[in-house]
Amino acid sequence: MRIANVGYALAGLALVGFSTAALAEVNQGSVARGGKLYDKWYKVVGVDAPTVSHPLYPATNEKYAADPANNWRCKECHGWDGLGVDGAYGSGSHKSGIKGINGMAGGDPAKVVELLRRDHLFGDKLSDQDLTDLANFVVYGQIDWTKYVADKKSTGDVANGQQVYETACIGCHGAEGKLPKDMPPLGSLASNPWEVMHKVLNGQPAEAMPALRAIDHQVSADLVAYLATLPAQ
């Protein structure tokens, strides 16, 4: 049944444009690009990673406090789930203890741009377009995880995920998710459904991988559920 729904969703996009208010509000390409910047902005804009740590990163996490290539990434402070201290990065090896970005979902994009430019010190690193895309991601792109993840697993439909995988992903990633060769097998990423769904929705920084952002997010959740069934090594 889900497959039929996907078909209708795609047909709807092609024929009548975005049908839901959420999608119509903002350009989904901008949101997805913002998501890739949130992941690894310096790859997206094509510059070297910073070599001096971000001053907002807490010294209490000694590992990442000493790792500027990671502690300048939005995700390293606020988490793949965007929930910061209230989410996955509230504990464990990536613990940052920092507030999430979810408080600004649905807010004013100009305020986010201002915050990133000033408090976050991105003014000399990112362009106006980059900052706008990030703000669109923060304001319009956040996911209600309770719809798609429970118990650290995607609640999506594995059979539907397989159908989408074997049409849209298999060409680059192979039947078992072990391609391209310089990447961990997709099946090994199952323990982090938030990261995998982020990548599926927004794409992979500096790669030709598509972003599924403009279609029903349930499709991305279904894919994540299927990826968890692929071999981990």
Which residues sit at the interface with ligand HEC, rule CB under 6 A?
38, 54, 56-57, 71-72, 74, 76-78, 98-99, 101, 103-104, 112, 115-116, 120, 122, 134, 138, 168-169, 171-173, 180, 182-184, 186, 189, 196, 199-200, 204, 207-210, 212, 223
Q: In this complex, which beta carbon is closest to ligand HEC, that of residue 6 or of residue 98?
A: 98
Rounded distance, CA 158 to CA 229, Å? 8
CB of 181 to ligand HEC, least distance (A): 8
Amino acid in the structure at residue 164:
V
Question: In the chain, at which residue ranges do the beta strands (DSSP E only) sit?
Answer: 149-150, 153-154
Q: In this complex, which beta carbon is closest to ligand HEC, that of residue 15 or of residue 181?
A: 181
Q: Which residue has the tokens 């599926």?
A: 200
CB of 16 to ligand HEC, least distance (A): 24
CB of 172 to ligand HEC, least distance (A): 3
Residue 188's CB is within 10 A of a number of other CB atoms, namely 17
Rounded distance, CA 126 to CA 72, Å? 12
CB of 5 to ligand HEC, least distance (A): 16
Rounded distance, CA 111 to CA 168, Å? 37
Residue 104's CB is within 10 A of a number of other CB atoms, namely 17
Q: In this complex, which beta carbon is closest to ligand HEC, that of residue 16 or of residue 92?
A: 92
Q: In this complex, which beta carbon is closest to ligand HEC, that of residue 31 or of residue 223?
A: 223
Phi and psi, residue 67, nearest 5°: -130, 80
CB of 173 to ligand HEC, least distance (A): 6
Tokens of 18: 């975005």
